[in-house]
Amino acid sequence: MDKKEFVVFGLGRFGWSVATTLAESGCEVLAVDDNEDKIKDIADIVTYAVKADATDSETLSTLGLSNFDGAVIAMSEDLEASVMATILVKELGIPYVLVKAQTDLHAKILKKVGADMVVFPEKETGMRVAHNLIMGNFFDAVELSSTYSLMELEPLDEWDGKSLKDLNLRSRYKLNVIGIKQDDELNINPDADDYITKNDVLIVIGKNEILNKLKILKN
């Protein structure tokens, strides 16, 4: 299989981290920044490093980007440059363009001009850190999105001895129980008539804010 090819514009902390991680994972990476020192520093880590202005259409058209699998635009301090670069790389035919943004309004604009994905790394990491701090007593959690998680959950005391049907967790808490761990046995895809005891561990998919509330009730 051919190696995937990505271009990263802007080598601030986020762009640098994306570019070097892609390169270390075996992808072909072209890193672009208008700061010469950054280009020198990353030159030995990525496949190509080019000092260029990401908003300069002539330069961009010489970089041979049309066959790239994706572009990352990480210059969120400069909305105008991010908008220009997004438009230019979409025009060059890059199928997936991910852009770092600072505000919801910036995200809206970037999506309007063709960004396939807009991220807010600081905000998203802050939410995840807070969430993980609150979730201290959950044994394990996988964030499925910024609003939903798959996790192991200890049942509330009042759930002891009740069936899933009685508890009606899906409509009461929008909580999907996809497994019940009893001792070392895992009951995958439990029936509505299956009972929960207080020593079980439930494997659930639910909204983070509701899972937080259940954790607080449990304490």
Task: List contacts with ligand ADP (CB under 6 A).
Answer: 9-14, 32-35, 38, 53-55, 74-78, 81, 100
Largest CA distance in the chain: 70
Of 5 and 33, the one with the shorter C-beta distance to ligand ADP is 33
Report the residue number, 23 or 175, with the smaller CB distance to ligand ADP. Answer: 23
Closest distance of CB 97 from ligand ADP, Å: 15
How far apart are CB 142 and ligand ADP at their closest, in Å? Answer: 26
Written as one string, the DSSP assignment of 139-183 is S-EEESSSSEEEEEEPPPGGGTTEEHHHHTHHHHH--EEEEEEET
Residue 67 to residue 59: CA distance in whole angstroms = 16
Nearer CB in complex with ligand ADP: 42/135: 42
Task: Determine whether 89 is exposed, middle or buried from the number of CB atoms within 10 Å of its CB (0-12, 13-18, 19+).
Answer: buried
Q: Which residue of the chain is nearest ligand ADP when measured via CB? A: 12
**Is 22 or 203 the residue whose CB approaches ligand ADP more closely?**
22
Q: State the nearest-atom distance from the C-beta of 82 to ligand ADP, in Å.
A: 8
Given a contact cutoff of 8 angstroms between Cβ atoms, the answer to whether 87 and 110 are in contact is: no
Min separation Cβ 55 and ligand ADP, Å: 5
Beta carbon nearer to ligand ADP, 42 or 167: 42
Cβ pair 153, 204 in contact under 8 A = yes
